[in-house]
Amino acid sequence: MEKNQLNSLKNNPHSKMSFAGFLIALGIVYGDIGTSPLYVMHSLMVGNGGLDKMSTNFILGSVSLIFWTLTLVTTIKYVLIALRADNRGEGGIFALYTLVRKRAKWLLIPAMVGGATFLADGMMTPAVTVTAAIEGLKGVKFNNNILINNQTQVIIITMVILSTLFFIQRFGTQLIGRAFGPIMLVWFAFLGLMGIYNISFDWTIIRALNPYYAIALLQSPMNIRGIFILGSIFLATTGAEALYSDMGHVGRPNIYTSWPFVKICLLLSYLGQAAWLMRLKDNTVLQSMGSAMNPFYESMPANLRLFGILLSAFAAIIASQALISGSYTLVSEATKLRIFPRLKTYYPTNFKGQLYIPTVNSIIWVVCLFIVMFFKTSENMSNAYGLEITITMLMTTILLHQWLLMKRANRFFTTVIISFFFIIESIFFVTNSSKFIHGAYITMGIAAILISVMFIWRYGDRLMDDNTFRSHFASLLAFKHQLNDLRKDPSYPLYTTNLVYLTKVHDGYRIKKNILYSILDKRPKRAEVYWFVTVNVTDEPYTAAYSVETFDTDYMVSVQLYLGFRVDQKVNVYLRQVVNDMMSNGEIKPQPQKYTTIPDRQVGDFSFILIKEVLSPDTKISGIKKSIIHARLALQKFISPASWFGLSYSDVMEERVPLVLGKVSMNRLRLVRKDRSALQDLPIDQPIDDDEDD
């Protein structure tokens, strides 16, 4: 039957190029990559043995590697290629998966792995960026008073700032973007100006843009880490995946507009720090500071250092936003693609792409605080940071290859380009793998847990809904007359006007037999109309449509809701609109209410029955499959279907039914009737006498 549109969703006005969109993009998208100058050059210096080990060629090669990493990975792969692989304006690895999933079933694997590692990385980013910024305040005088004297105070202040940041997420990223955008504009301008200031002392640093210095450094004996120096270089581009995931929040045109400005400012900052290092690398005072000397802070003029440190603290707070908002987007998409448990999602504003997931917010907040307390310093965190996001980038590359092939791009050039990125990112993965023993095992463990949850939810769902695997399905057509007789039978009280079951209708008329058992056997439920509602999640993020099948009756309706993976699934609201539409078309009879607060109300009351399945002992399937289903049902205990489907204030009843999978054994234990005299000699436990005195 023809689909009918439910309601139009308001588009995000900032998805078009504008100065307001430019500012919001700066506030939301670039926080992570924009604060990399805080610790990248410091990591390179410490990793190579200190300032006294940094030769001119080492410094030139380091900046050259940073520049070409930003150009190849961030600019070409993500800005020029990945941003075009959008799903109706939405970005991220799951949006990309929805575009290519019909090409092969195995593509679900890189999607799940990439999504899990991105979420794990999002738990590290806020901790490392904020800690690095607050460390810059240690020992700095405010009106001749030093407010932060030691690392313990740094940890406490960092935890307070992070807690505040996670608290304000509930107000929406539109508010955050408006507040943070102007600050980030000042931040990037400050990076650029400080870079120009330091470059002005030695313009020869520009030669670092020559890739020769990058290649030479990888082969130079002055580079004591060899190829593993790329583990520190990679920190300069860790925010590239967040840039792609946050596309739906600000729109692709605004990223295209803002990225050139951001990249130039970042490059000037790195060149400026390098020029400063080349001038002062032999300074014995700076050398004596050891790992406490951070080129980013030390390269600032003395009269601007306090302002720069405070500004970097604000930028670090904002940096956490890119990963947090990207995590919301990822979890929401994964949930509606049925590869992650349903979590309640809120839309704090009227703008497309603005969402808030309390459960995700709480988990990331707790993990961030744990990371701060566990690692204690930004140096320790950076040593463990970056491994997960290299895996995410590799998985995105695999999916991008399929997308380019789907777009009928030249197969040869597509394979060459994707192979080039895959090789680069594989090298980054290898060089970052050494971070596992330095603490990356924590976030990798979190990623492993997330992958397990996704696998259990997805595969368990398939096992439970497999038509060939399940033995109890029934045809609605076969029960038309019984349902008609029941609704007309005055000997049963009217249970409700509209009785609604949320279930999947197969082949247009087949449903789980336990639905009909609930209506007819468990407790006959007399209603005027029986509704069987299926919620279908579409690849397009903002679809809102439906179709109906009445089976040539006015008392049985199968409703197929087609909702985009970013649309809130408010079934109660949508169903009332469907009822009104069908009454207007004469497909069902009006339901006038005698007692009501609404004048001329023509729609009756609704009751929703939610079926909760419990795995039956009679299930005969393999132990592994049974364990997966048990785990799937255990995860489901933490989910409220009523809340997810917008039924929190509706009349909802939950019924428990046995879930029987596979072939039921016919050799069940059966009682045999015998005379009592034949059973008298059997040994039995002493029966309990309730009337016996203690």
pLDDT recorded at residue 572: 85
Residue 230 identity (one-letter amino acid): L
Nearest by Cα to 247 from 367, 408, 82? 82
pLDDT recorded at residue 10: 40
Show the DSSP H helices in 146-201 as ranges: 151-167, 173-199
Strands 494-502 and 526-538, how do they pair?
parallel
pLDDT recorded at residue 12: 47
Label residue 225 by pLDDT band (50, 70, 90). Answer: confident
Averaged pLDDT for residues 153-179:
80
Find the range with the poorest average confidence among 281-290, 433-442, 578-587, 657-666: 657-666
Find the range with the poorest average confidence among 1-15, 506-520, 653-667: 1-15
Q: Which long-range contacts (CB under 8 A, 24 or more apart) does 621-625 make?
A: 621/463, 621/469, 621/661, 621/662, 625/463, 625/661
pLDDT recorded at residue 9: 39
Paired with 613 in beta bridges are: 657
Q: Look at 662 and 280; give whichever has higher pLDDT.
A: 280
pLDDT recorded at residue 7: 46
Residue 506 is given by DSSP the state: B
Q: Using CA atoms, how far apart are residues 109 and 100, in angstroms rounded to an integer? A: 13
The alpha carbon torsion through 88, 94, 98, 103 (nearest 10 deg) reads: 140
Q: Look at 400 and 567; give whichever has higher pLDDT.
A: 400
Nearest by Cα to 353 from 96, 45, 24? 24
Q: Look at 342 and 118; give whichever has higher pLDDT.
A: 118
Q: Using CA atoms, how far apart are residues 586 and 580, in angstroms rounded to an integer? A: 10
Q: Using CA atoms, how far apart are residues 542 and 346, in angstroms rounded to an integer? A: 15
Label residue 285 by pLDDT band (50, 70, 90). Answer: confident
pLDDT recorded at residue 171: 73
In this structure, the number of other CB atoms found within 10 A of the CB of residue 45 comes to: 26
pLDDT in tens, 231-271: 899 989 988 888 888 887 788 899 999 999 999 999 999 99
Find the range with the poorest average confidence among 296-300, 529-533, 598-602: 598-602
Q: Look at 472 and 43; give whichever has higher pLDDT.
A: 43
pLDDT recorded at residue 549: 92
Q: Look at 586 and 665; give whichever has higher pLDDT.
A: 586
Q: Using CA atoms, how far apart are residues 66 and 209, in angstroms rounded to an integer? A: 9
CA distances from 691 to 177, 540, 684, 688 (A): 73, 68, 20, 9
pLDDT over threshold 60, residue 6: no
Averaged pLDDT for residues 7-13:
43
Q: Which of 259-263, 634-638, 672-676 is predicted most confidently?
A: 259-263
Q: Look at 621 and 396; give whichever has higher pLDDT.
A: 396
Q: Using CA atoms, how far apart are residues 88 and 291, in angstroms rounded to an integer? A: 47
Burial of 605 (0-12, 13-18, 19+ CB in 10 A): middle
pLDDT recorded at residue 594: 81
Angle, helices 40-47 vs 56-69, to 10°: value is: 140
Averaged pLDDT for residues 621-630:
79
Q: Using CA atoms, how far apart are residues 679 and 308, in angstroms rounded to an integer? A: 92
Q: Look at 336 and 59; give whichever has higher pLDDT.
A: 59
Label residue 40 by pLDDT band (50, 70, 90). Answer: very high
pLDDT over threshold 60, residue 216: yes
Q: Using CA atoms, how far apart are residues 153 and 168, in angstroms rounded to an integer? A: 23
Averaged pLDDT for residues 388-392:
91
pLDDT over threshold 50, residue 13: no
pLDDT recorded at residue 337: 82
Q: Using CA atoms, how far apart are residues 609 and 354, in angstroms rounded to an integer? A: 31
pLDDT recorded at residue 566: 66
Nearest by Cα to 476 from 442, 507, 445? 507
pLDDT recorded at residue 666: 53
Paired with 36 in beta bridges are: none
Phi, psi dihedral angles at 610 (to 5 degrees):
-105, 125
pLDDT over threshold 70, residue 405: yes
pLDDT over threshold 60, residue 660: yes
What lies within 8 Å, CB to CB, of 385 at 6+ separation is: 124, 125, 128, 235, 238, 435, 440
Q: Using CA atoms, how far apart are residues 364 and 378, in angstroms rounded to an integer? A: 18
Averaged pLDDT for residues 656-662:
70
On whether the CB atoms of residues 326 and 334 are closer than 8 A, the answer is no
Find the range with the poorest average confidence among 161-170, 198-207, 658-667: 658-667
pLDDT in tens, 137-149: 887 777 777 778 8
Averaged pLDDT for residues 276-288:
89
The alpha carbon torsion through 214, 219, 225, 231 (nearest 10 deg) reads: 40
Q: Look at 329 and 685; give whichever has higher pLDDT.
A: 329
Mean pLDDT of the chain: 84
Q: Look at 579 and 634; give whichever has higher pLDDT.
A: 579
The alpha carbon torsion through 26, 27, 29, 31 (nearest 10 deg) reads: 100
Tokens 């030093």, located at residue:
146
Q: How far is CA 195 from the centre of its chain?
A: 35
Label residue 2 by pLDDT band (50, 70, 90). Answer: very low
pLDDT in tens, 53-110: 889 999 999 999 999 999 999 999 999 999 999 887 888 888 899 899 889 889 999 9
pLDDT in tens, 442-499: 989 999 999 999 999 888 877 776 644 445 678 899 999 999 999 999 999 999 999 9
pLDDT recorded at residue 465: 67
On whether the CB atoms of residues 62 and 274 are closer than 8 A, the answer is yes
What lies within 8 Å, CB to CB, of 430 at 6+ separation is: 227
pLDDT over threshold 50, residue 228: yes
Q: Look at 99 and 646; give whichever has higher pLDDT.
A: 99
Please report which helix (H) or strand (E) contains residue 432, including its range.
Answer: helix 411-432
pLDDT over threshold 90, residue 398: yes
Joined tokens for residue 353 = 């792409």
Tell me the pTM.
Answer: 0.79
What lies within 8 Å, CB to CB, of 420 at 6+ separation is: none
Tokens 């508010």, located at residue:
175
pLDDT recorded at residue 5: 47
CA distances from 661 to 506, 632, 633, 668 (A): 17, 14, 14, 16
Find the range with the poorest average confidence among 40-44, 398-402, 618-622: 618-622
pLDDT recorded at residue 286: 85
Label residue 14 by pLDDT band (50, 70, 90). Answer: very low
Label residue 599 by pLDDT band (50, 70, 90). Answer: confident
pLDDT recorded at residue 667: 57
Angle, helices 40-47 vs 252-280, to 10°: value is: 40
Longest dimension (CA), the chain: 110
Label residue 662 by pLDDT band (50, 70, 90). Answer: low
Joined tokens for residue 386 = 């970056």
pLDDT over threshold 60, residue 111: yes
pLDDT over threshold 80, residue 622: no
Averaged pLDDT for residues 169-188:
77
Q: Using CA atoms, how far apart are residues 185 and 24, in angstroms rounded to an integer? A: 10
